[in-house]
Structure 1
Amino acid sequence: MFKILAQINKLFLPSFTKQRLDLTKAKKWQMAIIGWRYYVTARALDC
């Protein structure tokens, strides 16, 4: 399930790494997206 969710995230959510976002200057909504993507990716790799 998390592998499918990770693919959906990759398609629809922005990649802040490609945008060279500085984490110290990220807004709260950007940090929420980063945290969500990290959570899903970590769970997908455990499967």
Structure 2
Amino acid sequence: MYKFLAKLNKLILPSLTKQKLDVTKASKWQKALLAYRYYITIRSLD
């Protein structure tokens, strides 16, 4: 299930690292998006 979500995230959600986002200056929704993508990615690797 997590592998599917990781592929779906890659297709749909914006890549904030490619936009050179500074995490210290990120808004709350950008931090939430980063945390969500991190969680799904870590779970898909297991």
Instruction: Report the number of matched residues.
Output: 46
1:1-44: CA deviations, max 9, x gaps? Answer: 10000000001111011000000000000000000000000000
Q: TM-score, normalised on structure 2?
A: 0.97
Which runs of structure 1 show a deviation greater than 2 angstroms over 4 or more consecutive aligned residues?
none
- RMSD of aligned Cα (Å): 0.3
Residues of 1 paired with 2:35 and 2:43: CA distance?
A: 12
Q: TM-score, normalised on structure 1?
A: 0.95
Percent identity, aligned pairs only, is 63
